[in-house]
Amino acid sequence: MNHRRELVLVTCFLLLAAVFRLWDLTRLPPGFSEAELAYIRITETMRQGDVAVYYQVEEHKVRAGMYGVGSALVTELVGDGLLGFRLFPLWTSLITLALLYRLARHLFGVPVALIALGAMSLNLRAIILARSATSESLVPAYVLLALLCLINAFNVREEMRFRTPTTLSFALMALLFGGSGYLHYTGLLLGPIAAIFFGHLLITHQPLSRRMWSAWTFAIALATIVAIPYLISTFRDIALSEPYTLWIERPRSLTDVVNGILSAIGGVIWQGDARASYNLPESAVFGPATTILLLIGTGRVIRCWREPRYALVLLVLLAGLITDAWVEPESTFSAHLVALPAVYLLPGIGAVELWRILRGRGVAQAWQPVTVILVLILIANLVATRDHLFNDWKHDPQTQTAYHARLGALAAYLDRTPDGLPVSMCAARLVEPDSAGLSPFQILPLMMHREGLQIRHSDCRGGLVLINAGAPMRFAFAQLNDRDEMPPELAEWLSDAVPIPVEGLPEGSVLRLDVEQRVRDSGGYWSTFSPAFFMPDQNGSEEQVPLPVALENNLTFAGYDPRALSAARTAGADPIVLVSYWRVDGRLPDDLGIFAHLLAYPDNESRVPLLEPWAEANSLDVIPNELQNRDFFAQVSYIWLSDSLAPGQYALTVGAYTNEVAILDNHLEILDVANDSQPHGERLLLGDVTVNPPPEPPK
């Protein structure tokens, strides 16, 4: 094949690969998976200057830090968000294609290199990996670069030739092999691969210089020096190291070993990884036709194992399959990463072997039928990959769940919409972290590239934020069914909201809300129908305080829903539901909380309640450090009455605290505006609640 034709074919394959990897990059995948969020946390940590070998982002699981270095450098240049965090793996995937072509051309010639490049360019496994903001996307490129340095150091080509070893080639090889553990636990196999390959060269009596031993000793010493920080970190706490992952995921029985081997092989040729974040669930790496070429190529590699180039491919393939078989009984694509260069080379080797077989049987111009087969396979792969990627995988419910698709669609809408209205976002379980240690209100900003957009988060099962005193804003739900969990007292504020259509989200996920006038009207209503009092003095006299009531640290009590005091309560029955409203006058403490306490009177005569609560609710379902001046927020406090609560009258009080409610010094002082804003206690009395005894059980 002449050089011009080769260049045209390589360019076409790279363009196809770029299209499949770039097209709709910010929406496919539709968000970030748990693994991506873990590496994004590492990236952000490194950008803040905290560099380490390992990072523990999940309980009993750590991740190496090399990927975070590259990701931090790229995002520092281009920004973050769904696009910024994916540019590093995208660029790495394109470099991987170039490295694969270079390796295949050196070892097996142009035909094998072109077929390997075509196989990887249009392979769903490779494309999903290129769209994954994890260290796994970097492993194939790292392995290929290490293998290129290895064959260059030993001068391995289609035919191995004698050459005096050079210091630079062995130094580069040592740096890559010594640093392999900093990227991913599968990279730990590169060292054994190099050692076994060197032993193979000796056993098969390849033409090696006498200086090869000294060069090999130098490489081992340099690789050890590079690996010293990794080794120290590992031995310091073995249970929190990546090599420990291989130990805890080991097979537990002979059945696991057999199942693991079958699944590892099956992951390539008949049934792949079932996880949507790694694969179209349970699809093999290759289709039937490419698999046949792969099997033919595998046979060729096994028969010619004495040749160094075939031995290297076989070693790499076995290393990946053994790791996959070892880690879990099921096919695990994240464990066979080292094998990927060999997996993409084998169909090309198989196609050349098929040509040899046909030529040996006397078929004239045997390349013609082989070329026709390859073109048909290429077209079939092109059509199948397009369908699998942009239809099947994109719309698979597992993919939508694994990648937090709702948050991703909301982030894309907020990034692309010029509407400057601030956003009040509702997310149930707002501060509950996922396996990557991130809660919903932390995930959304990571998916966005746009900066400066005002967002307030709340868990609208108990809290609601009305930005700028209810002025026009957008109200968004992380999940539409979160709206069904809102208490009616909060849902009333959304009754006149207007839905905003958003691509990728069900109708009603984003609303336009304007309740500024309702907030003003509510102020008058609370002043009339929701009286509040300073806590009684020693004589038991109550002093009503006009609403709103200022507290220290820029917080103002605006009022409450009087329905909490509208009827007597029964011990052990439904809770008291107190909806209190608060205005923000400036920066709030990060650890702010709202308490609602039911206090007992010492006797029938004294009207000074005891401070120890008999029933209480202490929480805050908004993020206080996001709130700004003139924001209003509602807090729903559910005060559950124990069935052992003695009947009688109790004082319902409300207030705010920081850090821990049990320490009275943490309560925010009530300020008496009529008396030069002097402190006047640390809670407000809203009124009395009559508690009836629980009903007698039926006899």
Do 73 and 169 lie in one domain? The reply is yes
Do 178 and 114 lie in one domain? The reply is yes
Do 229 and 367 lie in one domain? The reply is yes
Do 164 and 53 lie in one domain? The reply is yes
In a domain, 139, yes or no: yes
In a domain, 698, yes or no: no
Select from 482, 514, 546 the last residue of a domain: 514
In a domain, 258, yes or no: no
Split the chain (699 residues) into runs of 10 and give each run's mean pLDDT. 87 95 92 92 89 78 88 92 94 96 95 95 95 95 95 85 82 93 91 93 87 89 93 84 80 85 88 90 90 95 94 95 88 91 96 89 79 92 94 93 91 86 90 78 87 89 95 92 91 94 92 95 92 84 89 96 90 92 96 95 81 92 94 96 90 95 92 88 93 79
Parallel, antiparallel or unpaired: strands 473-477 and 510-513:
antiparallel
Do 237 and 323 lie in one domain? The reply is yes
Backbone angles phi, psi at 693, to 5 degrees: -70, 155
Do 195 and 210 lie in one domain? The reply is yes
In a domain, 699, yes or no: no
**Can you give the pTM of this predicted structure?**
0.88
CA distance 91 to 613: 60
Do 438 and 509 lie in one domain? The reply is yes
Do 161 and 295 lie in one domain? The reply is yes
Select from 497, 514, 531 the last residue of a domain: 514
Residue 163: Cβ-neighbour burial (10 angstroms; 0-12, 13-18, 19+)? middle
In a domain, 386, yes or no: yes
Domain span holding position 611: 521-692
- Residues ≥6 apart with Cβ < 8 Å to 420: none
Q: Which of 129, 108, 182 is nearest to 17 (CA)?
A: 129
Residue burial 73-85, b: 16+ Cβ < 10 Å; e: rest: ebbeeeebbbbbb
Select from 353, 376, 400 the last residue of a domain: 400
Do 429 and 355 lie in one domain? The reply is no
Do 386 and 495 lie in one domain? The reply is no
The answer to whether 529 touches 499, Cβ cutoff 8 Å, is: no
Do 510 and 525 lie in one domain? The reply is no
Per the structure, the count of domains in the chain is: 3
Strand partners, 619: 594
| CATH code: domain of residue 564 | 2.60.40.770
Do 166 and 287 lie in one domain? The reply is yes
